[in-house]
Amino acid sequence: MSTYEIGGRTFTSRLLVGSGKYPSFSVMRDSLEASGTEIVTVAVRRVDLTDDSSEGFWAHFDKEKYTMLPNTAGCYDVKSAVTTARLAREATGSDFVKVEVDNEGLLEACRILLDDGFIVLPYCIDDPVICKKLEQMGCHAVMPLAAPIGSGLGIRNPYNLRIILEQISVPVIVDAGVGTASDAAVAMELGAAAVLMQTAIAGAD
């Protein structure tokens, strides 16, 4: 079975899954198990990582089984994104971070976090120039959006995505808007290393 590598760690599953929007942590746990995923992204500003009770997040998340990918969702400037990433590392022990901030601050935030020793996966628009700059500064993967987040519209601009895939060598993980299995198949056929799905899974019947 083929693999890909991020930050010195090797992965087999081509599906990344989010931890939010589920009706309960127990449903989240069962969904992660069923998906076969190895990487789970967590919006650390929206989850109480200090709750170690039987009803809390940690009681339903297997740290030995999954690589946690904390994200900075809800941050709108460099300072808040960097602070959130640092707090997430302290709370979770994970060096991985999915950087989510506005376009203007993304490059600066990634540069700071790389200098801090993070394994940086920036979430970005499907702009080949931005993706190339992120690779050149040392980001360990890039996560261009396929469509507006939560829209389930599929890959709206396969041409941009193809250019990104042709010009950079780090893993490309297609994020946002991947709403169906066929959307994921298109991303993989184009050459993506993996896809991230959240709303389509958490909102399924």
Q: Return the sign of the alpha-carbon dihedral for residues 60, 63, 65, 67.
A: positive
Residue found by looking up tokens 């991303």 in the block: 187
State how far the Cα of 61 lies from the Cα of 202, in Å rounded to an integer. Answer: 16
Structure tokens at 9: 């760690």
Residue 164 near residue 192, CB atoms below 8 Å:
no
Q: Hey, how many other C-beta atoms are within 10 angstroms of the C-beta on 12?
A: 10
Q: Return the sign of the alpha-carbon dihedral for residues 163, 18, 188, 118.
A: positive
To the nearest 10 degrees (0 to 180), the angle between helices 158-167 and 128-137 is 30
Residue 161 near residue 187, CB atoms below 8 Å:
yes
Residue 135 near residue 114, CB atoms below 8 Å:
no
Active-site position among 63, 65, 98, 133: 98
Catalytic residue at 79?
no
> What backbone torsions phi and psi does residue 197 show, to the nearest 5 degrees?
-125, 140
Say if residue 132 is exposed, middle or buried (CB neighbours under 10 Å; 0-12, 13-18, 19+): middle
The residues carrying an active-site annotation are 98
